[in-house]
Amino acid sequence: MTFLGTSAGVPTRQRNVSGLALGVDHHRDWYLVDAGEGTQHQLLRSGHSLARLRAIFISHVHGDHCYGLPGIIASANMSGRKTPLTICAPDGIEQYVNAVRKYTDLHTLRYPLHFVRSDHCAAEQALVYQDENVSVSAHALSHRVPSFAYRFEELPASALDHSKLEALAVPRGPLWGQLQQGQVVTLADGRKINPQQVIQPAWKARRVIVGGDNDQPELLLNALKNVDLLIHEATFTDDILQHVGPQYMHSTASMVAKIAERAGTPYLALTHFSQRYRNCGRDDKRQVEELRREAAQHFNGSIILAKDFDHYEIDRTGQLKIVHDKEETKNGG
C-alpha cells in the first residue's frame, strides 16, 4: 500500500488529496482507490505504471476523491495503453468522465473503459471486482453524498495438504499433480478424491478495508471481520468536531478507533486529515500527532498516521511493516 494523498478537502504543502495504490506482493499489476486532483503526478514518484493499473475504485463524487480521474485516463491513453480498465464507482462518476471526454476532445480511447456501479453492488451484496489476485466488495457509508468503503481480500495460491493426502492414502506421483491441477482422481481401490478435499490456501488470505468519507464507522463492523488493516478517514479530533459541527459528516480519530477496537482489527491507518493539522511546526499550530493520541485512548492495536508516499506491506504472516526500499516500491505494490 502506497499512500498518494492524505489531506482532506484541499492539498497542503505536505499532503495531496486522497489516493491510495495497492498491489499484491511483487506483482507489477496494481489497484487505485480514489484519485484526487494531482494523483497522476504523485504516481510519478511512486513507481507505479499506468500500463499495469488493473482497476480504480472511487469512494464518492467529491472532488478531492475524483478530480484526478480524467487525467489518469488521458495519460494512460497517451502512453499507449490498450488493455481494458475497470472503474468501480457510485452514480455520477461515469457521467463525469463521459462529460470530460466529450468537452475536452478525449473522444477516442485506445483501450476500453468498463464501469461498475459500486452502489448497485453494495445494495445487492455482490462483488464489485475480482481477478486472479483479489476480490473486492463495496460497503455503504454515511456522508453528504453516497460514499463507500472497499474491502480487498487476497486470493492466495493453493497448495496440497500433504497430511490429508497421506490420511486418504493417495500415493505420491502423478495423482498428486492431477489434484493440484483441479482434477478428480480415482484410486486403485475405486475411491474418488476431489481436489477440494486435499487443497488449501498456501497462506492465510490478507484483507484490507479502505473507507471513503464517513461519519458512522460502525457501519463497517460486519465487514471488518477477519480484516488485517482498516484505512479510514480521521478528519478531526473530537474537540475540533465540536467546534465545526457535524454538518461535514466526517469521522474523528476516536470514532474510528472505537470501532476498530470493537472489531478486533490489529492495525488501523488514519488518513484524510484536515489542513489545520501539521506534521510538525510551530507550537501554536495543531499537530497531526494529536490524532494518534486520541485514537490510542480507545484502540489497543497498532496505529499509523498516513503520510504521502509512505509504503506499507502486510506480509504473509499478517504483520504490517513500513517498506523503505524505493526499488521495492517500483517493482510491486
Selected from 3.40.50.2300, 3.40.50.720, 3.60.15.10, 3.40.50.740, the CATH number assigned to the domain covering 2-156+203-331 reads: 3.60.15.10
In the chain, the percentage of residues whose pLDDT exceeds 70 is: 96
Question: d(Cα 241, Cα 244) in Å, to the nearest integer?
Answer: 5
64 in active site: yes
Whether pLDDT at 329 is above 80: no
Whether pLDDT at 215 is above 50: yes
Local structure of 254: helix, strand or coil? helix
Instruction: Summarize the confidence of residues 131-143 as an average pLDDT.
Output: 97
Mean pLDDT is lowest, of 122-131, 187-196, 241-250, for: 187-196
Question: d(Cα 85, Cα 237) in Å, to the nearest integer?
Answer: 38
Element spanning 297, H or E: none
Q: Report the mean per-residue pLDDT for the chain.
A: 93
Give the per-residue pLDDT at 185: 92
The size of the chain, in residues, is: 333
Whether pLDDT at 108 is above 60: yes
What are the pLDDT digits (tens) for 236-288? Answer: 999 999 999 999 999 999 999 999 999 999 999 999 999 999 887 666 678 99
Instruction: Summarize the confidence of residues 35-47 as an average pLDDT.
Output: 95
Give the per-residue pLDDT at 199: 85
Beta bridge partners of 182: none
**Amino acid in the structure at residue 241:** L
Residue 49: which pLDDT band, with cuts at 50, 70 and 90?
Answer: very high
Classify residue 96 by burial, with Cβ atoms within 10 Å: 0-12, 13-18, 19+. Answer: middle
Give the per-residue pLDDT at 332: 40
Full-model pTM: 0.89
Closest by alpha carbon to 151, among 248, 45, 263, 39?
Answer: 263
Question: d(Cα 310, Cα 215) in Å, to the nearest integer?
Answer: 25
Domain borders along the chain are 2-156+203-331, 160-199
Residue 328: which pLDDT band, with cuts at 50, 70 and 90?
Answer: very low
Closest by alpha carbon to 81, among 107, 54, 100?
Answer: 54
Task: Name residues whose C-beta falls within 8 Å of residue 81's C-beta, 6 or more positions apart in sequence.
Answer: 50, 51, 110, 111
Please identify which of the residues 29, 34, 64, 310 carries the catalytic annotation.
Answer: 64
Residue 103 · residue 63 · CB < 8 Å: no
Instruction: Summarize the confidence of residues 209-235 as an average pLDDT.
Output: 98
Beta bridge partners of 201: 158
Residue 39 · residue 68 · CB < 8 Å: yes
Local structure of 180: helix, strand or coil? helix
